[in-house]
Amino acid sequence: MPTFTKARNVELSVVDAIETAVNASWTGITVVKSFLQSYAVPVPVICVRMLSIESKRREIGGNSLRERYTFVVDIFAKSDGQRIDLTDFIVNAVKNGFVYNEFSHGSGGTFTKTANGRIPFLTFEGNTSIEANDSEVEHERYRQSIDFIVEKS
């Protein structure tokens, strides 16, 4: 039996998939899952966080729910060009959906994961450059925010 709930498994599966894709194609980029953690490491950094869960009944009179999960990926880049390249990379990584993993506590404070389904990508809700080029805060100079919705199949 998995240690974590379905929502937590969805969150960890999406973060893990994006981190794995970034590490396979880029160097020197940290992936975090908390907005505050973004400021604790130097740029470039990518923050993947679950923003909300929308639950609706699957059918009238039934108690089973259909959950949709909204994620936000904040990109904190070193330059405008890197921001654009990372944005394109993340969009292409997200649009194919994700493997749903069930996570549990392993030895030594690590997690173990077992694949058990898919997390299909549904739609992009936003993909916006956060204009702050003259900001004194390095993290805010070249920032992009990508919002998307997924569900557990």
Domain that holds residue 26: 6-151
Read off the CATH number of the domain in which 51 is found.
3.30.2000.30
SS3 state of residue 44: coil
Question: Per-residue pLDDT tens for 88-133?
Answer: 999 999 999 999 999 998 777 788 999 999 999 999 999 999 877 6
111: in domain: yes
**What pLDDT shows up at residue 135?**
61
In this structure, the number of other CB atoms found within 10 A of the CB of residue 126 comes to: 9
SS3 state of residue 120: coil
Question: Per-residue pLDDT tens for 23-64?
Answer: 999 999 999 999 999 999 999 999 999 999 998 877 787 788
Torsions phi, psi for 5 (to 5 deg): -75, 170
**DSSP sequence for 21-79:** HHHHH-SS-EEESSHHHHTTSPSSEEEEEEEEEEEEESSTT---EEEEEEEEEEEE-SS
1: in domain: no
53: in domain: yes
Classify strands 30-32 and 45-57 as parallel, antiparallel or unpaired. Answer: parallel
Q: HEC profile for 124-136? A: EEEEEEEECCCCC
Q: How far apart are CA 78 and CA 10, in angstroms?
A: 29
- The separation between CA 47 and the C-alpha centre of its own chain, rounded to angstroms, equals 7
Per the structure, the count of domains in the chain is: 1
List the beta bridge partners of residue 101: 115
Q: How far apart are CA 85 and CA 107, in angstroms?
A: 37
140: in domain: yes
Structural contact between residues 50 and 64, judged by C-beta atoms closer than 8 angstroms: no
Beta-strand runs (E) in 86-120 = 98-105, 111-119
61: in domain: yes
H-helix or E-strand spanning residue 79: none
pTM of the predicted model over 0.85: yes
